[in-house]
Structure 1
Amino acid sequence: MYFPVADITVSVWVPPLVAFCVSFFTSMGGVSGAFLLLPFQMTFLGYTSPSVSATNQVFNIVAIPSGVLRYMREGRMVWPLTWIVIIGTLPGVFLGAIIRVAWLPDPNSFKLFAAVVLAYIGVRMTRDLMAGPGKNGRKAAEQHFQNMAARFRSKQNEGESIRPVEVLSFTRSRLVYRFYEETFDVSTMGVSLLCFLVGIVGGVYGIGGGSIVAPFFVSILGLPVYTVAGAALMGTFVTSVAGVAFYQFIQPWYPGMHVAPDWSLGLLFGLGGMAGMYLGACCQKYVSARAIKWMLAVILLFTAAKYVLSAL
């Protein structure tokens, strides 16, 4: 099948199959999988124009709601954290889209930029994992996460419902919530600033911003992946809607360049991602948090290395 905006020809079954496989695993960590689909499109499909970023965000719009719905049904959506992610990343996404079109239209420059961002997050997560539990006095030790996963499995076997997240306090300065026996306390303004910076990167990269937020929440703030996944995915969805609208809006100002998304290609990726994310959200509670974090770290480092090699 020929996709005119992307200017590529690919079998119609390839995009949904690839998106399904990627999203199944990445959605467990609150990551849509868009950051892996981007190098696939650029390296394997030869789709290198700036519109690939917008097409990636179309994938997010179609695929993410199924995973978010599952987390909502299980009471694992930390809604205050979700709103912080959305409010913080939205302005950054618009700024990132401008940077992508104005200063990073060249594929090689873009790949090197993306590699630096992904490598930093991957190295940070790997270092924290190798350092072991208790680093920086974090309450959420790895053994706690392992026990939490075991609780999920036992409760499912007993036919009991999963205990929902309990928000204890949400003010302009602090967000405090409890998940099972552990209480988590983060700075509202600090998270908002982090989300703004991540939103810029996400806007450039075409992943909405929430996908990069999830590894930051897990590795830097020490929040449990079981509670941040839904918030990160929801944030990615909302910012992706804004990103796609913005790319479509500025297309008339760039008549010699494809900026708006390839809707048909993005839809095919999204349909596969929809099924993958729902199944990934269903299976997340059966996988230990440490295993999910290692998976995210390996994926990030592999993708960064792939970008560097293809850009040189």
Structure 2
Amino acid sequence: MEYLLLAIIALCAGILGSLVGLGGGVVLIPATLYFGVQLGYFPDITPQRVVGLSVVMMIFTGLSSTISYMRSKQVDFISGSIFFIGSAPGAILGAWLNKGLNIDSFNLYFGILLIVLSTLLFVRDKLKPIQWFMDHGIKRSFTDRQGQTFEFGYPVWFAVGFSFFVGMISGLFGIGGGSLIVPAMILLFRFPAHVAVATSMFMVFLTSIVNSISHIALGNVPWHYTVPVIIGAYLGAKLGAALNKRMKSKTVVLVLQIVMVLIGIRSIIEGLV
């Protein structure tokens, strides 16, 4: 029963994670902790072990999504590789910091993080693009299916420094970094939403490999739960990527906001109560 439940949770995580570029950890982690700790389905689950399970899952959601997005040419491989340079060492540091979190503090900080990020996305249209980033760094462009061309860019040093912070948060909370990097791409660098999501999933794939090595070394991966999670997440990521291609950019961002607010509120309540 518990393996089927995990597969269903992972399927939902894969769909939402791939759809909005989060990697799926923001769904898998609170759901697994709820069913595992509160309802007792997974009595051996701890914050450290669920993060280890999450980062292993995100290797496969990232791979599945990246393959799907490659076919529609939405992945910016150059930007994703630059962001990865900073996120890899950050992920190692975050995995080490994770061992000091208990269940209540984990839920509280995780929820606050998501609420702050979703709030930034709600006001993104009122924020003017930081032109300095465009003038002092790499310039990129993307033309969507409707023929609209988007210009975006960033300084390499800032992208590497920021992605180090993203990687640290990813290793600490097991969320794949998408909940930080996607809003940053959209708000700071003016990535079109579809490119931000696709590039985020490529970065999630790379970062999760490093993250997994760190958590395996720390003994945080519950191997008996990985098979149903990997299968469910891989199939879910395929479905999520297919849905993303059929949605408008504003709709993708709206779904991202709603998911982050709901999960954030839930996590804060769990952390306080």
So what's the TM-score if we normalise by structure 1? 0.77
2: distance between equivalents of 1:228 and 1:127?
18
Runs of 4+, deviation exceeding 6 Å: none
1:205-231 CA distance string (max 9 Å, x none): 012324431222123332111112222
2:172 counterpart of 1:176 = no
* Cα shift at 1:49: 4.0
Identical residues among aligned pairs (%): 22
Q: Report the counterpart of residue 239 of structure 2 in structure 1.
A: 279
* Cα shift at 1:136: 0.6
Which of 67, 70, 80 does residue 68 from structure 2 map onto? 70
Count of aligned pairs? 256
2: distance between equivalents of 1:182 and 1:308?
37
* Cα shift at 1:307: 1.0
Which of 264, 270, 273 does residue 310 from structure 1 map onto? 270
SS of 1:176 mapped into structure 2: strand
Q: Report the counterpart of residue 182 of structure 2 in structure 1.
A: 214
Q: Report the counterpart of residue 34 of structure 2 in structure 1.
A: 43
Q: Report the counterpart of residue 268 of structure 1 in structure 2.
A: 228
SS of 2:88 mapped into structure 1: helix
Q: Report the counterpart of residue 151 of structure 1 in structure 2.
A: none
1:237-290 CA distance string (max 9 Å, x none): 121111121122233xxxxxxxx2112313312211111111221221211111
Q: Report the counterpart of residue 31 of structure 1 in structure 2.
A: 22
* Cα shift at 1:56: 0.6
8 Å contact from structure 1 (residues 36, 303) kept in 2: yes
1:143-198 CA distance string (max 9 Å, x none): xxxxxxxxxxxxxxxxxxxxxxxxxxxxxx62222112222222222121111111
Q: Report the counterpart of residue 248 of structure 1 in structure 2.
A: 216
1: distance between equivalents of 2:257 and 2:22?
12
2:128 counterpart of 1:136 = yes
* Cα shift at 1:93: 0.6
Q: Report the counterpart of residue 114 of structure 1 in structure 2.
A: 110
8 Å contact from structure 1 (residues 77, 230) kept in 2: yes
Q: Report the counterpart of residue 4 of structure 1 in structure 2.
A: none
Which of 11, 18, 31 does residue 20 from structure 1 map onto? 11
* Cα shift at 1:25: 3.0
1: distance between equivalents of 2:172 and 2:62?
20
2: distance between equivalents of 1:49 and 1:27?
23
Which of 190, 203, 214 does residue 235 from structure 1 map onto? 203
Structure showing greater radius of gyration is 1
Structure 1 residue runs without a partner (length 5+): 2-9, 140-172, 252-259
1: distance between equivalents of 2:218 and 2:224?
20
2: distance between equivalents of 1:59 and 1:211?
16
Q: Report the counterpart of residue 89 of structure 2 in structure 1.
A: 91
8 Å contact from structure 1 (residues 89, 195) kept in 2: yes
Which amino acid is the alignment partner of residue 64 of structure 1?
G
8 Å contact from structure 2 (residues 6, 32) kept in 1: no
Q: Report the counterpart of residue 289 of structure 1 in structure 2.
A: 249
8 Å contact from structure 1 (residues 207, 236) kept in 2: no
Pick which of 242-251 and 84-93 moved more: 242-251
8 Å contact from structure 2 (residues 15, 236) kept in 1: yes
